[in-house]
Structure 1
């Protein structure tokens, strides 16, 4: 715990959507929250003011900057890696550089962030990555690179769970299905197609994802590690 007795939380990618809901949840639970944003300066400043958290501009693809930020925060209790990019489409037509960038932000950054945070993380610490249900089911074409990047997290948390388990640090990935955000609005063009795969035919709310993250960060989840927890309304069922 931080000196004030409050949990210290870092959310990578916290200015919008699911990330912002996670920031709000931890802040309302009394944690001391720092979050990063790439480009959304205005929403980030507004969220920081609203929640009493700290916003830091950071490009997750910059490994040195990522490590420097985490080092500067010292012993954080909870790391949530939500920063990610979404690129989809015909693999024969997609730009190769944008795919390499996707892998850098969606795979390399979570790995390096987790390792950096673990160096100073106290016993009882929590590392929570935000993945996607597409890791388990590429239900639509055009998802190969994105699905690969999110499936990588499932293997990553299994390994890191074993590496950090002796220090009582848990490592898990939360895999949302369609969730109502700016990136994937509930009234978007593909909503009927997405809902057709689901048992519960609606988008999740971002605060429902944040609820699972908050539970994983709490005392009840002390024995949950190395797993993918999917909240997708039965998309993969």
Structure 2
């Protein structure tokens, strides 16, 4: 018995209930809280475990929520009109992107409720597009686990209403537009290069330079490599297109 107890983890620091402010905030967003465990997990970044509390982080729920979000948005787009597959994919990719998820997360006040380790918070983790986007998807995953697809889909349609009805993803992606511009002007295809990477993994910033031979180059910085490439392509077209 003594030996068995010695192997048991010390659970004195494990928090199993939501902070009252976080619960009130979730309910204000339309989430119905039953068992608090998945919601606590959805709000917990991996760095939080370094602060003396052993808790599951949001990664598994983020994986699930990403799929629920994708299917919900794809279904909405399919029913919204008769756009061809290429246009549907273009809008879908924009609407479920980390950038869009992070924008919605900021709009509803998510940053202050994320459970981060001290260093991660000091490094700006609460304003990281990557973290905000992942937690937003994890909350969708938690909703799906507790209430099923229809409820999760309804939450998505409400939170994404402005994005779905707006112009997000309707314009051609800057990287595609630049590729076509280069081909149309008989130029070699654009080349993207990461010229700088700074900050810790949870709050990294990437600087990307895109260049077209015998034309020029442009650079941009963002919290993800993909977003930096998009902004660099956009800057190139504005300067040389």
**TM-score normalized by the length of structure 2:** 0.24
Structure number, greater radius of gyration? 2
Ranked by relative contact order (alpha carbons within 8 Å, sequence separation 6 or more), the top structure is: 1
Q: Which has the higher helix share?
A: 2
